[in-house]
Chain A
Amino acid sequence: MKKLNFKSSLDNWLTYAGVIIAFVVLQLLASAGGMSSALKGQLVPVCAYIVMALSLNLTVGVLGELSLGHAGFMSVGAFSGAVTAAALASAVPSAGLRLMIAMIVGAVFAALAGVLIGVPVLRLNGDYLAIVTLAFGEIIKSIVTNLYIGVDANGLHISFLKNTLQMEGGKMIMNGPMGVPANTKIATFLAGFILIMITLVIIFNLVKSRSGRAIMALRDNRIAAESVGINVTKYKLMAFVISAALAGAAGSLFGLSQNTIVATKFDFNTSILVLVFVVLGGLGRMWGSIIAAAALTILPELLREFSEYRMLIYAIVLILVMLATNNPTIKGFFAKIFKRKGAEE
């Protein structure tokens, strides 16, 4: 346990390096044609899920509050980003710039949702907070499912519950339960890589600063944190909103890598999926989140040859990993094996 700070700095630099190396290798592999098209199609979603996992790790691992509605922020980001990109299609010809604007808009809207949700909710604790974030995720889903947005020469038109848009020509961007039926896929692997790097910089630098310490103080002992003058609401909200904004950007990136997006894609199950990445990767351990998110997004692809059994295998793997990493007996068993191996070498 000695040299705690040095060890965590080293971890951070290795994480940056690992992400850069992985990006270069995959980019080379993709351009040299050494990658199946199915796998290629997964590159951007994997980046989006990595950012989702990292941002949720900020809430669950660093702030220490369980959130079961993280996909809600992804949804807000995905749809606001898709609408932005579609609305700017003619005004901003550069796809890269449009993607950037869409991701920023997605982050801003998700951050607003984060403030709206966080202000009332963060007064609650533990499981109650978890259930309320779940409820908010479902509410966001219901709202998005009933939104109708179109764009024409007169600008944006919005209606809720029923399609009452009166448009002169133009086109529908969001069509209620059908979501965004005709998205332009402008998200790129490079953009995904940059977003991951930005996310890492934000989280690592936050954690190793005054505000980050305040957030972790709340996690470790709220009463002690208050006693040394740390404003509980401010720092809880800060972590929650930064986490939401990053999820929004990830949502934008994800949405713009798909032909169609529907609100039900970002339901409770997606929130849970991201939570699984975070817990498997280790709370507060960012490189763990990256590896878990990447591996578990790719795993169902790799299990294609087992076709219908793949989700079953996924479930079994998940249970076994949880048992292996959390049961003292099994953990001790593995530790012994590794020790013996180490001694032989």
Chain B
Amino acid sequence: MLTFLNHFINGISLGSIYAIIALGYTMVYGIAKMLNFAHGDVIMVGAYVCFFAVSTYNLPPIVGVLLAIVICTLLGVIIEGLAYKPLRQATSLAVLITAIGVSYFLQNAAQLLWTSNPKIFPNMFGGASIKLFGGELIIPVGTLVTIAACIVIMIGLTLFTNMTKMGKAMRACSEDKGAAQLMGINVNRTISVTFAIGAALAAIAGVLLCSAYPSLVPTTGSMPGIKAFTAAVFGGIGSIPGALLGGILLGIIEIFAGAYISTQLSNAIVFLVLILVLLIKPTGLLGKQIREKV
């Protein structure tokens, strides 16, 4: 029973990381209708920034995290401005390939700058843990912080999109860009802000991810990126609660499949569940069903 609980907590923790990454995918998809394949690599950049700040320059962890957020946000805005903005009118496939190009670029630049030797990411939370049930259930503080961060981000984003002017502009753009423009909303700026928020979330996810799985290489972000994207689709792409739900479920499924079925097949099982969900509910768990007008 305690092992089960332990797996469950680990699943939620991993799922929280997926959820934070998935939020970035979902927000960008909702507004720019593009699959931002470079998102996973922004995670990697964030992790490297934090790594160097903390390990090489001995800055306190919180400064490392903030630095990662600032740099990734800038990076997100720059990528959007240079690579995606010129393609606003292009087909979604053209933008997708450009995003892939950006992803290659970030990975290879990271490889040149920091080599492909794995860096051992420092434990940001000092290895402290909470012991429950007379020491039989040990929960690392990092796990709790991850879950807490996810909850805070979720609440923050929900408030932001519902309460602020910019949040309303975002929702308007995701409904209908043309109409939003006619209402005086600066669509280009709204999209840039969305990318910035997505990239900032990616930085946080990068730090949390590498705290849990400390080996850092230039391709660190790709697989979690793909899985988080899967999570976003799983929950219904474009929906913020959907990203949370999808992320958490994906994390739990992955941990349980690894623990009780087979570690080698845990990825395959995650993807299999995704396929089954989409076959039953073609727009994801919380996605909107759109009837095509004939």
Q: Which residues of A contact B (CB under 8 A)?
A: 60, 66, 120-121, 123-125, 127-128, 130-132, 134-136, 138-139, 142-143, 145-146, 161, 223, 268, 272, 275-276, 279-280, 283, 308-309, 311-312, 314-316, 318-319, 322-323, 325-330
A326 near B91 with CB under 8 A, answer yes
Task: Give complex CA distance A131, B101 in Å.
Answer: 19
Residue B105 lies at the interface, judged by CB distance under 8 Å to chain A? yes
Name A139's contact: one of B94, B102, B272 (CB within 8 Å).
B272
Residue B90 lies at the interface, judged by CB distance under 8 Å to chain A? yes
The 14 sampled A-B contact pairs (Cβ below 8 Å) are A66-B93, A124-B278, A131-B229, A131-B274, A135-B230, A138-B271, A142-B267, A279-B93, A309-B112, A311-B108, A314-B104, A323-B98, A326-B86, A326-B94
Task: Give complex CA distance A283, B96 in Å.
Answer: 14
Residue B179 lies at the interface, judged by CB distance under 8 Å to chain A? no
- In the complex, which residues of chain B have a beta carbon less than 8 angstroms from the beta carbon of A135? 230, 271-272, 274-275
- In the complex, which residues of chain B have a beta carbon less than 8 angstroms from the beta carbon of A276? 97, 100
- In the complex, which residues of chain A have a beta carbon less than 8 angstroms from the beta carbon of B90? 326-327
Interface string of B76-89 (1 = CB under 8 A from A): 00000001001101
Name B267's contact: one of A138, A312, A326 (CB within 8 Å).
A138
Q: Which residues of B contact A (CB under 8 A)?
A: 29, 35, 37, 83, 86-87, 89-91, 93-94, 96-98, 100-102, 104-105, 108-109, 111-112, 222, 226, 229-230, 233, 237, 262, 264-265, 267-268, 271-272, 274-275, 278-279, 282-284, 292, 294
Looking at chain A's contact residues, the main secondary structure is helix
Name A131's contact: one of B102, B108, B233, B268 (CB within 8 Å).
B233
Name A311's contact: one of B98, B104, B226, B230 (CB within 8 Å).
B104
In the complex formed, the residue of A with least CB distance to B102 is: A319
> From residue A162, how far is it (CB to closest CB) to chain B in Å?
10
Task: Give complex CA distance A283, B262 in Å.
Answer: 40
B87 near A326 with CB under 8 A, answer yes
> From residue A197, how far is it (CB to closest CB) to chain B in Å?
28
B98 near A319 with CB under 8 A, answer yes
**Which 3 residue pairs across A and B have the least CB separation, nearest first?**
A142-B268, A135-B271, A315-B104
Name B101's contact: one of A124, A128, A318 (CB within 8 Å).
A318
Report which residue of A130, A135, A146, A275 has the largest number of chain B beta carbons within 10 angstroms of its beta carbon.
Answer: A135
Task: Give complex CA distance A245, B35 in Å.
Answer: 28
Report which residue of A131, A268, A315, A316 has the largest number of chain B beta carbons within 10 angstroms of its beta carbon.
Answer: A131
Report which residue of A125, A223, A311, A322 has the largest number of chain B beta carbons within 10 angstroms of its beta carbon.
Answer: A322
B89 near A121 with CB under 8 A, answer no
- In the complex, which residues of chain A have a beta carbon less than 8 angstroms from the beta carbon of B37? 272
In the complex formed, the residue of A with least CB distance to B105 is: A315
- In the complex, which residues of chain B have a beta carbon less than 8 angstroms from the beta carbon of A223? 292, 294
In the complex formed, the residue of B with least CB distance to A137 is: B271
> From residue B286, how far is it (CB to closest CB) to chain A in Å?
14
- CB contact under 8 A between A268 and B226, given known A128-B282, A330-B86: yes
- CB contact under 8 A between A120 and B275, given known A142-B264, A315-B101: yes
Task: Give complex CA distance A268, B225 in Å.
Answer: 12
- In the complex, which residues of chain A have a beta carbon less than 8 angstroms from the beta carbon of B93? 60, 66, 279, 283
- In the complex, which residues of chain B have a beta carbon less than 8 angstroms from the beta carbon of A60? 93
A322 near B101 with CB under 8 A, answer yes
- CB contact under 8 A between A319 and B101, given known A283-B93, A326-B91: yes
- In the complex, which residues of chain B have a beta carbon less than 8 angstroms from the beta carbon of A279? 93-94, 97
Report which residue of B29, B37, B222, B265 has the largest number of chain A beta carbons within 10 angstroms of its beta carbon.
Answer: B265
> From residue B174, how far is it (CB to closest CB) to chain A in Å?
15
- In the complex, which residues of chain A have a beta carbon less than 8 angstroms from the beta carbon of B100? 272, 275-276, 318
- In the complex, which residues of chain B have a beta carbon less than 8 angstroms from the beta carbon of A330? 86
> From residue B284, how far is it (CB to closest CB) to chain A in Å?
8
- In the complex, which residues of chain A have a beta carbon less than 8 angstroms from the beta carbon of B274? 131-132, 135
In the complex formed, the residue of B with least CB distance to A314 is: B104
Task: Give complex CA distance A316, B105 in Å.
Answer: 7
- CB contact under 8 A between A146 and B94, given known A135-B271, A319-B102: no
Task: Give complex CA distance A206, B263 in Å.
Answer: 44
A127 near B35 with CB under 8 A, answer yes
- In the complex, which residues of chain A have a beta carbon less than 8 angstroms from the beta carbon of B111? 308, 311
